[in-house]
Structure formats: C-alpha cells, structure tokens
Chains A and B, each alone.
Chain A
Amino acid sequence: MGNRRWNHDVATRISKLGGRAHGGECGQRPRAGCKYSRGADYDHHAATAGSDQRPDYQPVVTLNGWTLPWRMNGYWKEFHLVAEPVVREIAPGMKAHLWGYNGQSPGPTIECVEGDKVRTFVTIKLPEDTTIHWHGLLLPNGMDGVVGLNQPPIKPGETYVYEFGMRKSGTFMYHPHADDMVQVAMGMYGAFVVHPRDPKFMRVDRDFVFAMNAFAIDPGTYVPRVTEMTNFDLWTWNSRVFPGIDFLGAAKGDRVRIRMGNLTMTAHPIHLHGYDFKVTLTDGGWVPESARWPEVTIDVPVGAWRAVEFVADEPGDWVFHCHKLHHVMNSMGHDVKTFIGVQKRDLAKAICKLVPDYMPMGSTGMEQMAEMEMPLPDNTLPMMTGTGQFGALGPGGMTSLLMVREGLASSDYKNPGWYKYPPGTVAYRIDNPITVPVRKSDATTTPKANVEVQVVKRGRPQRR
C-alpha cells in the first residue's frame, strides 16, 4: 500500500479493497457515534464509535442506508463500488431480489468535498454489462459513463476506474447508463453528496438524504417487473416503504436539510406537515438567497434533486410524505371497483354461499384496510399499515415522520418514540357542540328518491 493514508479506522475493514468486494459489510459513517437506525438490519454504524478523526463538514444521514468508506491515495480520495445482486427488505414482511451496489439497493452514499479528486473503482458482479453515470456532476466527457458513447461497457467480472475532480458542491447521484431502464428498475442508484469547501457555508445541524424509486413486484414474486412504465405498486424512498423508512429525528432548534432525488418515472410533490421550508439546493447548484421562496410542498421532478431547509422549532411527530396519495399506499390493485354507497348486505349473504371467506369491503370507504389484519398473499405488504399512539395509521409507500424533540443529542438519530403531548394540546371529542353548523341553504346530502333519469336517444339511422 506504500505511503497511502487511510481514512480513519476503515483500513482494516476494507483492506480487500484492491480486489474483493466489500459488499455486504457494514458501512462506516465518518463521524464518531453518529448512529442512525431503527431496525437491527440497518445497524451499520456502531463500528465508527471511537474514531478520532472528524471531517470538516456535517456528514449526511442516508435513510436506511450508509456512506461508503474511502481511503486517501496521494491526492486522490478512492472509493470502490461493486455492482451486484442484492436482497432488500422493502418493509418488514417483504423482500425484493434487486440489483444494487456493495450489498444494498440503493448503493451507499458517496460523500466528498468540493475540490476533492475522486477515483472510483467499479467492479461488476452482475450477469450483464453496466457503466456508472455521474448524474449532475461536472466532469470530463470521457468520465460521463454512457455506454458506447463515452466508454466501452464494463463486462461482468471487470473493474473500471473513474477519475475526476469535484468542481462544485451539491447533491448528485450515480446510476447505470447501460441497459438503464432495466438496471434502474432493478434498484441500481445511489446518492453522491459533495460538501462545500468552506465548512461554514450552508452549514446545517442535520442533513438527510434519500432517493425515490418505484418497483412493480406482484404479490408472491420477488423480482420487479422491469418493463413496467406506469402501474407501480411500491413507491419507495431508498428502496423502502412505510413503515420501513427511517424516521427523521431532530432536536428542537436544529437547522435541518433534506436532500431528495427522484429516479421514478413521475414527479413527486413532497410535503412536510407543520413547517414551511425553502428550497436551497437543486442538482444544478445552490439557490441564491434572493431566489428562494417559501413552500410546504416541493415537486421533485424526474431525474432531479431538491434540498429543502428549515429550523425544527415545533416539537412533535410530523408526517413527511409524497402528496400523490396513490404513492402513500403499498401494494394494491388499481382496477378494484368502487363500492362507496353500494349496499352489499343482501349480496354478501349470497356471495358467502359461494365464497365462504368473503367479506364485503369498500362500501364505506377503505379505512378498514388499515384497521384489519387479514391473511395476505406471500411477499406483499398491506396497502395501508402502521399503528400510532391513537390507533391505525393507514399510510404506506413514500411516508416517513419528522420527529422533533427537545434536547435530542446531536448524534442521536434513534427513534425517540411517539411524541408525548403536553396536556390540552390534542384535538378532542365533544359530545354537545354548542353551535349549530351552518350549511349551504340548498345542500343536498342524499340522492333524491324521485330522481328521474331522462335518456334522450338519438334517432338511429333508418335501414333502407
């Protein structure tokens, strides 16, 4: 290894860097004690405790993910990505057979600093060729990774090297640019975060990052249907859905940044409850202060990144979700008929004779889906799920929570548990409302009994 200088204590963990994949191993976060996980599956970061070297930036926290360790080799910061098949738990109860990098879909987040010279080794352990495209990064054309155009394909078993300097800070991503439709649909993507050279510039206390992807995985199957274009059933953040997505914890008063990228085939209006925020960064660069406007929902276009910032000054459990509400559902049929207003009591009796386990659903809406637990097909998720301190929660898909608490330690990213409401601050039931609600004078709440439908038929052309 010569006089190579290694990044903190990862030397022993990735001493096989030269040849063997370190996929599947834990990732290190370059900050002591910065632990972020809810499930045992994702408890990657404990190993960094005791590291004495801290980078001169606020490291990002990748939801249900990790930051790729690197080593210094002269002036070069060296990373090693391995493209390979992986098994990803979409949420407890469902696993998907995907392609990813270094043991996970999405791949690990690459973090570096503006001005760094970055060398990335890319080893292919997939059954087909691939490349890596560095989406949004400014680089020499020969490093852009478009197969056939900028470079030959990287064949299974081969390792290629990409070398370029970080010309600016921001949030970018990497994904294949060979058989892209299939490989991205199989889960190949990862975030690429470049921190500003000036550590004080746009400094925040908590910096979260995730990318959105969508999968079409039929119940009982494990591999996504890669040709699907519109009818996805799993709308994921970092290949996870609610309730499997890490919660975003913040201490009251923290300045929080959330970086969001979109690799699906539709835009996602991401909405945060209880706060307004400003968009401070796109993958094109930092937004000048004079050009930032306040929002509560920001549309993240396809193939783009947005970062929003706010001060977490209001404690509580705040929902954070895509506002395309089909995207806050898990697996469900999109051809299911609507039965709202349809009385099925008599019908139910008749059907039960034919289908003994039949239970009428949907006559009063679908909330019962969130409240009932019924046997489901193998390897799928209930369309609505989760339980909060007041009962069934009901969302799925692209949903997480911003959990703001007083006095959370700066390194504490554990789930703090449901918010303890101060007495008298929760909506409550009242049995005798003192006012009579005003209604529209000609309000109609039920269909009139004597509705008559007049059908006017056009005269049929006479046959002659």
Chain B
Amino acid sequence: MLPLRKIISDETQLRYNAMQIDMFSLLPEARQRIIATIAAIEAKRAFWLAETDLTVAVVGDGAVGTASDTPRTVAAAGGD
C-alpha cells in the first residue's frame, strides 16, 4: 500500500475503533484506498513502458542495427 494512503487508512480505522465514525465512513475509505492502489499500479506500468521506450530510443530498436547486437532491448521493446 502507498505510505500516505496507509496513514489515512490506519487513522480511519483508529477513529472507527473510537466510535468517532461508523462503517459507512470505513467503506469509502477502502474504496479510496483501492482507487489509489490501482492508480499506483497504472502509474508504475506507465513508467516501465516509458522507460522501455526511452531505452529503445537511446540504444535503437534494432531495425537499423543488426539484431544480434541488442537482444535484450529487442526483447523489452517486444513487450510494447
């Protein structure tokens, strides 16, 4: 879980324990947490794709060079 989101989740749970809030506040918090987690996964995916694109751009995608020179890059680029 994301560190900031974890703080919010933990504090929400503590407030529930203290009967400051009820479960109808816990559930939206859980939803927010899930949305944040999905957004984090999406962001990580976008990062890896972008980094791969960058590597390809820097090293070359093998189309101009010989394929045998950069097998790793080709494999990574193939994932796009």
Contact = CB atoms under 8 A, between A and B. Distances in A.
Interface of A: 219-220, 331-333, 335-337, 339, 351, 354-355, 357-358, 360-362, 366, 369, 374-377, 380, 382-383
B17 A336 contact: no
A358 B18 contact: no
B14 A354 contact: no
B22 A351 contact: no
A219 B19 contact: no
A384 to B, nearest CB: 9
Given A355-B13, A377-B15, A380-B20, 17 more contacts: A219-B15, A219-B18, A331-B20, A332-B18, A332-B20, A333-B18, A335-B21, A335-B22, A336-B19, A336-B20, A337-B22, A339-B22, A351-B27, A358-B23, A360-B23, A361-B19, A374-B18
Interface of B is mostly: helix
A360 B19 CA distance: 11
B30 A333 contact: no
Contact of B30 (A331, A355, A360, A380): A355
Contacts of B29: 355
A382 B22 contact: no
Contacts of A358: 13, 16, 23, 26
Given A355-B13, A357-B13, A377-B11, A331 B26 contact: no
Contacts of A374: 17-18
B24 interface: yes
Name the residue in B16, B21, B23 with the highest tally of chain A Cβ atoms < 10 Å from its Cβ.
B23
A353 to B, nearest CB: 9
Contacts of B22: 333, 335-337, 339, 362
Contact of B17 (A220, A335, A337, A375): A375
Contacts of B19: 332-333, 336, 361, 366, 369, 383
Nearest to B12: A355
Closest 9 CB pairs of A and B: A374-B17, A354-B30, A333-B20, A377-B14, A336-B22, A376-B18, A337-B22, A357-B13, A355-B26
